[in-house]
């Protein structure tokens, strides 16, 4: 059936909605919530195959929508407009895609065939699956898991759902499995590696379950949203960049899954492997260092679990042609003091300016991991990568490189740490007692930062003034929360009070 | 924050949407897809606690929505209008409900506490959980299961999410676990039981994964959508009725779960027990006969699995005070010939008019199950219930009672089978060969009926002309498909051809 179009100027933020008159819907045999396939048409017929899948809403208001016309939300309207000139759209009823049978097989505990995975990924890429169907897949994988062969199939197909870049064998990258707050090391590692002369096209996803992803923090300095072509121009010039992976048709099917994982705050390990590797494969990365924070609050509560994951990741990466060094890192407390996009950007920039002022956890972790990449590249002999990384940092070359990257990505290269503004609603929390910080609860830190508005509000976040082993006097500031609204500040503070993130103790561990 | 309201006249069919100006949303700290709580207000303040949870969409079109105003979809607009006079709404940001932690525990394979279940059910009832979160719960239960204690807790809390009726100890009902097409026996059993003088307030859900539920078929004769008060008036008069359980605040939290199970076509056994029993408990049912079709295409492929389920169901029902007889029934082929709301209603009415004309499968199954209820009630000695049921049917009293029920529910009591119209797009399929029907594929039958438009289009469906053991000559009509559009008829026919539901054979089973 053919319809005129009306662009409503409404947007869901993700799901594509087409609004129909109930009579038209009846004639097409669809109800609210059903899927239709929408083809832009011109005088000579269909102009865009295979069409765009959208979900049906009804208009019960004749003034808003008359029969013979469909209303388009921005998510589909923008795509249709791109195909102008068009003289309307054709709608056909779309049935549940075949890949849902494969999803059900995973829920039943079966191993998926290569064909199953091809279909699931294809339907993710074409956005044919409903959000609840994607949720069913994610939970099915979370509970029943994937075997290595399934993950390898997923990686290949997810990567091939978009463009695959090729920079030859010398393409480096770093990634973290997350879970430790304040892990802004990419903002230090990328300029170090780049300053050493290596290519490092760092793409990152935005925060999934954490308060800030690398893309969120980098965005404080510069634009991270680039098309593939624009990114290639930046890489041509600087041989480095820190980009959001979502805007460059890099494994778009992965983004569809990640969007639902984010809503559910569920990031199954097997899908994490396929997400990371599909993005790296699409970017042409050939050598990778993977930071695996281990400890309470991370995805790997014990070293044993981290190690098992590392061995599996390394092997799957090998099968798809990415040489990987996995590094288990300590996650007993945040890296540095700052958590939240702007606060992390500020802390990283301070370190690039004055490495000798620390924070030492950020300095050490960044140079450890950068050192491993330098050794993998043969820039430093085994065991001497960290020295070289530190040398590059102290020489000011990393800062210089970061400025060049910021400039290439459209930011202000001369930005100083004090130029970065943080949440205008803030509170300082002071200790009422004397003692020594004995433990930090990362989960609580993350929750406080998220309730304060992270990662949506870039200026929101926290500063952990006192870290493990630090002596505290009554009246000392131990914690700061920043938000962009009183509501969020209150919510974060309430959580702070009910889930205190700082555990105090004395130096005495045991009396006998 | 307070806003003026605009009723857009848009409807999703389920999800409550509030459309915000992006600037207002930013000030409130919410994004698209986030949850807000909406309170109608008047001059003296909030007039509806605890407010209504809705999902945020954005309006990017100033003409449609200006700052300071929110647009309401019908699903929430209708509820707000009910609370008139109001002078606007107050919105607050709503965080992810605590019950999602319990859902995650189920996904992790943990047993839920009573408190967990109280919270999940409360958040279902208040519609606080996103569809993807509900899907996560359903899949988590589907894979990890529930223990009896969890189901008992679910039944109590689901039932108590709405009104609980009390008719004393003599309140009867029948239910089926489904899976066998054409199972319109409720339309025969209810009038038989009622004609015997017993109270049977039959509530039924609409089809979840099947082509037609009892409510869908009954709706062909009369209205099934009644408020609790209206239903009580009908029961007062006729001591029987066939109602849709969704409209009378009977276990509304169950309906929230069922709506997502329906989208996913997933009906986990443990949730089926809690859905059935919560609805029965809410209706004050004290004695129940449960029809458990067993065989390929049903939820119980083997008698062993059906029996295990029956024993479990009976015990859980006992714990919540419902005496149950479970009956394993044959599901090798459809009951009767007709599948689809109107076709099933017509076939049932024909049988009530002329029981001796059959179809015999429908006649026998209906009187078997009615007989069991009559025995449970002491109306007939053990082993003689079926005789009594048959007697009531043949006497015309069941037809008379059905007419009274139809009249009480606002339908035409004098409706004849030939008055019931069926799909105007239809096709007759004739056999090209000679043989004997050896097997029927119920799954294929269901798919064909659903592709033809069931249960949404009441007139859609199929007629299986030849059943197992019937001899077929070339040219004989073996199958009819009815639809309300050519598209649907074509889709159903295509499925028929690729998944032939009728297996032919000769009488010879084995030659030695």
The H-or-E segment that residue B5 falls in is strand B2-7
Given this structure, which CATH class describes domain A172-245+275-417?
Answer: alpha beta
> Under a CB-based contact definition with an 8 Å cutoff, are residues A426 and A481 in contact?
yes
CB contact under 8 A, B135 and A139: yes
The CATH number, out of the four listed (3.40.1030.10, 3.90.550.60, 3.30.70.2750, 2.60.40.10), of the domain defined by the range B172-247+265-417: 3.40.1030.10
The larger pLDDT score, comparing residue B354 to residue A47, is at B354
Among B399, B504, B499, B508, smallest CA distance to B449 is for B499
- What distance in Å separates the CA atoms of residue B212 and residue B202, rounded to the nearest whole number? 16
- What distance in Å separates the CA atoms of residue A52 and residue B202, rounded to the nearest whole number? 43
Q: How far apart are the first and last CA of chain B?
A: 84
Query: Which residue of chain A is at minimal alpha-carbon distance from B20?
Result: A10
Using alpha carbons only, what angle is made at residue A480 by residues A475 and A482, rounded to the nearest 5 degrees? 150
Phi-psi bin for A136: left (phi > 0), alpha (psi -120 to 50), beta? alpha
> Which sequence spans correspond to the domains of chain A?
2-94, 99-145, 172-245+275-417, 422-505
The shortest CB-CB distance from B13 to any of A32, A104, A265 is to A32
Kindly list the strands in the beta sheet with A338-339, ordered across the sheet, starting from the edge strand earlier in the chain: A338-339, A461-464, A477-483, A425-430
Q: Is A225 on the interface with B (CB under 8 A)?
A: no
- What distance in Å separates the CA atoms of residue B344 and residue B350, rounded to the nearest whole number? 10
The DSSP string of A443-463 is: HHHHHHHHHTTTTTSTT-EEE
CB contact under 8 A, B57 and A488: no
> Under a CB-based contact definition with an 8 Å cutoff, are residues A175 and A148 in contact?
no
What are the C-alpha distances in Å from A337 to residues A238, A389, A410, A469, B87? 30, 22, 28, 14, 47
SS3 string of B21-83? CHHHHHHHCCCCCCEEEEEEEECCEECCCCCEEEEEEEECCCCCCCCCEEEECHHHHHHHHHC
pLDDT in the model for residue A83: 62
Q: Are strands B52-59 and A10-11 parallel, antiparallel or unpaired?
A: antiparallel
Which residue's entry shows tokens 């959208």?
A: A54
CATH classification of A2-94 is 2.40.40.20, yes or no? yes
pLDDT of B508 over the 60 cut:
no
Using alpha carbons only, what angle is made at residue A422 by residues A416 and A423, rounded to the nearest 5 degrees? 170
Touching B: A residues 244-263, CB under 8 Å: 260, 263
| Interval B286-312: pLDDT, tens | 999 999 999 887 889 899 999 999 999
Residues in CB range of B354: below 8 A, 6 or more apart: none
Residues in CB range of B414: below 8 A, 6 or more apart: B403
Which residues make beta-bridge pairs with B294?
B330
Which residue's entry shows tokens 């991991």?
A: A369
Q: Nearest CA to CA, how far is A163 from chain B (Å)?
A: 28
pLDDT of B82 over the 80 cut:
no
Which residues make beta-bridge pairs with A242?
A202
Q: Which of A123, A216, A255, A267 is catalytic?
A: A267
pLDDT of B379 over the 80 cut:
yes
Touching A: B residues 105-134, CB under 8 Å: 107, 109, 130-134
Residue A511 phi, psi (nearest 5): -105, 135
The shortest CB-CB distance from A264 to any of B31, B132, B453 is to B132
What are the C-alpha distances in Å from A511 to residues A34, A433, A468, B362? 68, 22, 21, 81
pLDDT of B510 over the 60 cut:
no
SS3 at position B181: coil
- What distance in Å separates the CA atoms of residue B109 and residue B144, rounded to the nearest whole number? 6
Q: Nearest CA to CA, how far is A121 from chain B (Å)?
A: 18
The shortest CB-CB distance from A264 to any of B136, B488, B491 is to B136
pLDDT in the model for residue B159: 95
Q: Are strands A2-7 and A88-94 parallel, antiparallel or unpaired?
A: antiparallel
Which residues make beta-bridge pairs with B287?
B172, B323
Touching B: A residues 405-464, CB under 8 Å: 451, 453, 456-457
- pLDDT block averages, 10 residues each, chain A of length 512: 87 90 86 88 67 89 88 86 72 89 96 96 91 96 96 96 91 91 93 96 80 91 92 93 85 90 90 95 95 88 94 97 94 92 96 91 94 95 94 96 96 95 93 87 91 91 90 90 93 92 66 52
Which residue's entry shows tokens 């008359």?
A: A66
Work out the number of other CB atoms within 10 angstroms of the CB of residue A478. Answer: 21
Give contacts of A28 with chain B, Cβ < 8 Å: 485, 487
Q: Is B61 on the interface with A (CB under 8 A)?
A: yes
> What angle separates helix B303-319 from helix B148-159, to the nearest 10 degrees?
60
> Under a CB-based contact definition with an 8 Å cutoff, are residues B488 and B451 in contact?
yes
Q: How far apart are the first and last CA of chain A?
A: 84
pLDDT confidence bin for B318, thresholds 50/70/90: very high
Residue B195: asked if its preceding bond is cis (omega within 30°), the reply is: no
CA max distance for chain B: 91
| Interval B419-476: pLDDT, tens | 999 999 999 999 888 888 888 988 899 999 999 999 888 999 999 998 888 888 888 9
Q: Is A25 on the interface with B (CB under 8 A)?
A: no
Residue B288 phi, psi (nearest 5): -135, 140
> Under a CB-based contact definition with an 8 Å cutoff, are residues A413 and A404 in contact?
yes
Length of chain B in residues, anyone? 512
The H-or-E segment that residue B478 falls in is strand B477-483
B336, two tokens: 């009767």
pLDDT in the model for residue A358: 79
A342, two tokens: 């702007």
Q: Is B60 on the interface with A (CB under 8 A)?
A: yes
pLDDT of B55 over the 80 cut:
yes
Distance of CA A156 to the CA centre of its chain: 20
Query: So which residues of B are the catalytic ones?
Result: 267
SS3 at position A22: helix
Given this structure, which CATH class describes domain A422-505?
Answer: alpha beta
Q: Is B90 on the interface with A (CB under 8 A)?
A: no
Tell me the average pLDDT across B210-233: 91
Q: Nearest CA to CA, how far is B316 from chain A (Å)?
A: 25
pLDDT in the model for residue B509: 45
- What distance in Å separates the CA atoms of residue A104 and residue A110, rounded to the nearest whole number? 9
Tell me the average pLDDT across B70-83: 83
ipTM of the modeled complex = 0.82
pLDDT in the model for residue B435: 86
Q: Is A94 on the interface with B (CB under 8 A)?
A: no
Using alpha carbons only, what angle is made at residue A320 by residues A314 and A326, rounded to the nearest 5 degrees? 20
What are the C-alpha distances in Å from A496 to residues A211, A443, A448, A501? 15, 11, 6, 7
SS3 at position A241: strand
A381, two tokens: 């002999």
Q: Is B468 on the interface with A (CB under 8 A)?
A: no
- What distance in Å separates the CA atoms of residue A330 and residue B246, rounded to the nearest whole number? 53
CB contact under 8 A, B140 and A143: yes
Q: Are strands A2-7 and A69-72 parallel, antiparallel or unpaired?
A: parallel
Return the CA Rg of chain A.
25
- What distance in Å separates the CA atoms of residue B105 and residue B128, rounded to the nearest whole number? 18
- What distance in Å separates the CA atoms of residue B137 and residue B270, rounded to the nearest whole number? 12
């Amino acid at each position: 059936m053919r319809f005129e179009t009306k662009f409503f100027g409404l947007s869901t933020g993700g799901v594509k909605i087409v609004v129909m008159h109930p009579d038209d819907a009846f004639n097409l045999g669809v109800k609210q919530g059903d899927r239709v396939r929408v083809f832009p048409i011109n005088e000579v017929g269909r102009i865009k195959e295979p069409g765009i899948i959208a979900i049906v809403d009804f208009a019960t208001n004749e003034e808003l929508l008359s029969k013979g016309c469909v209303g388009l939300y921005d998510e589909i309207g923008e795509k249709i407009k791109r195909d102008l000139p068009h003289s309307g759209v054709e709608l056909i009823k779309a049935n549940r895609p075949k890949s849902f049978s494969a999803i059900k097989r995973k829920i039943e505990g079966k191993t998926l065939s290569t064909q199953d995975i091809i279909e699931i990924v294809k339907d993710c890429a074409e956005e044919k699956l409903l959000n609840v169907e994607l949720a069913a897949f994610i939970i099915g994988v979370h509970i029943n898991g994937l075997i290595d062969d399934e993950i390898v199939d997923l990686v290949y197909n997810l990567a091939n759902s978009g463009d695959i870049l090729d920079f030859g064998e010398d393409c480096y990258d770093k990634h973290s499995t997350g879970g430790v707050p304040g892990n802004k090391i990419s903002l230090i590692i990328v300029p170090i590696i780049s300053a050493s002369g290596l290519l490092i096209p760092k793409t990152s996803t935005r925060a999934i379950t954490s308060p800030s992803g690398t893309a969120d923090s980098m965005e404080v300095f510069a634009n991270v949203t680039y098309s593939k072509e624009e990114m290639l121009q930046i890489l041509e010039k600087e041989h480095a960049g820190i980009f959001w992976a979502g805007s460059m048709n890099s494994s778009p099917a992965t983004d569809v899954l990640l969007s639902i994982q984010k809503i559910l705050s569920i990031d199954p390990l097997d899908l994490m492997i396929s997400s990371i590797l599909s993005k790296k494969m699409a970017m042409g990365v050939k050598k990778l260092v993977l930071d695996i924070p281990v400890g309470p609050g991370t995805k790997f509560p014990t070293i044993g679990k981290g190690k098992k994951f590392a061995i599996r990741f390394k092997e799957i990466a090998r099968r798809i042609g990415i040489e990987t060094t996995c590094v288990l890192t300590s996650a007993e407390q945040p890296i540095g003091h700052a958590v939240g996009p702007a606060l992390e950007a500020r802390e990283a920039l301070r370190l690039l300016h004055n490495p000798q002022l620390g924070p030492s956890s950020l300095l050490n972790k960044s140079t450890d991991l950068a050192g491993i990449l330098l050794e993998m590249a043969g820039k430093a002999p085994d065991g001497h990568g960290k020295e070289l990384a530190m040398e590059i940092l102290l020489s000011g070359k990393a800062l210089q490189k970061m400025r060049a990257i910021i400039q290439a990505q459209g930011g202000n290269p001369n930005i100083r740490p004090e130029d970065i503004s943080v949440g205008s609603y803030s509170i300082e929390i002071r200790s009422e007692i004397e003692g020594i910080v004995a433990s930090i609860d990362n989960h609580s830190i993350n929750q406080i930062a998220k309730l304060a508005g992270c990662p949506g509000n870039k200026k929101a976040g926290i500063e952990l003034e006192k870290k493990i082993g630090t002596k505290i006097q009554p009246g000392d500031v131990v914690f700061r929360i920043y938000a962009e609204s009183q509501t969020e500040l209150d919510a974060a503070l309430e959580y702070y009070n009910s889930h205190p993130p700082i555990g105090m103790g004395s130096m005495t561990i045991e009396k006998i």
